[in-house]
């Protein structure tokens, strides 16, 4: 991916972005769950997505079986959205050094929703820790902002 494209996509790795994960089991039955954070250290060659352990068991089981992962990142205020498709390179329980990132993302998520009228005290009740960290090799990127261009591939 070019540096310019990577720079434009970086906004979806920041705080205040909604991150959701889709997977499917061996029988091709899909499921979804909310993640709490996503990061990239190599300009979208790979991403790491953090899924709460309390709610992500089914997702983790599917990833272990099929390795296929879909991740949608959405900015709540604008509905701007991308979808990342890829293959899992590994799943691990997030390390204690990741806890600050995860908890900061929860605060930022609560701030973003508070702007839209959801009280922070409600959002902050979400269980986010401990979390699983899923490393994903990015294969495809799509624009998923609602409208006629939804589903168009982004440069990858």
DSSP state of 13: G
Minimum CB separation from other proteins for residue 72, in Å?
5
> Is residue 20 a contact point for other proteins (CB under 8 A)?
yes
> Is residue 48 a contact point for other proteins (CB under 8 A)?
no
Neighbouring C-beta atoms of residue 90, cutoff 10 Å? 11
Minimum CB separation from other proteins for residue 85, in Å?
7
Binding mask 55-84 for other proteins (x = CB under 8 A): x----------x-xxxxx-x--xxxxx-x-
> Is residue 151 a contact point for other proteins (CB under 8 A)?
yes
Interface residue with other proteins, options 52, 60, 112, 132 (CB under 8 A): 52
Contact 73, 21 (CB under 8 A): no
State which H helix or E strand residue 118 sits in.
none
Contact 66, 24 (CB under 8 A): yes
- Cα separation, 131 vs 50, in Å, equals 6
Interface residue with other proteins, options 45, 54, 104, 120 (CB under 8 A): 54
């Amino acid at each position: 991916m070019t540096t310019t494209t990577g720079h434009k996509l970086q906004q979806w790795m920041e705080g205040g972005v909604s991150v959701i994960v889709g997977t499917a089991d061996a029988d091709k039955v899909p499921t979804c769950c909310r993640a709490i954070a996503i990061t990239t250290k190599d300009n979208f060659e790979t991403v790491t997505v953090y899924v709460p352990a309390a709610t992500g068991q089914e997702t983790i089981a599917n990833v272990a079986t099929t390795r296929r992962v879909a991740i949608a990142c959405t900015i709540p205020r604008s509905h701007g959205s991308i979808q990342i498709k890829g293959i899992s390179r590994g799943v691990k329980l997030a390390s204690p050094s990741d806890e600050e990132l995860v908890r900061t993302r929860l605060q930022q998520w609560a701030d973003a929703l508070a702007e839209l009228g959801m009280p922070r005290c409600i959002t902050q009740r979400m269980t986010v820790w401990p979390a699983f960290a899923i490393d994903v090799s990015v294969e495809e990127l799509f624009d998923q902002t609602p409208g006629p261009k939804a589903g168009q591939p982004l440069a990858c």
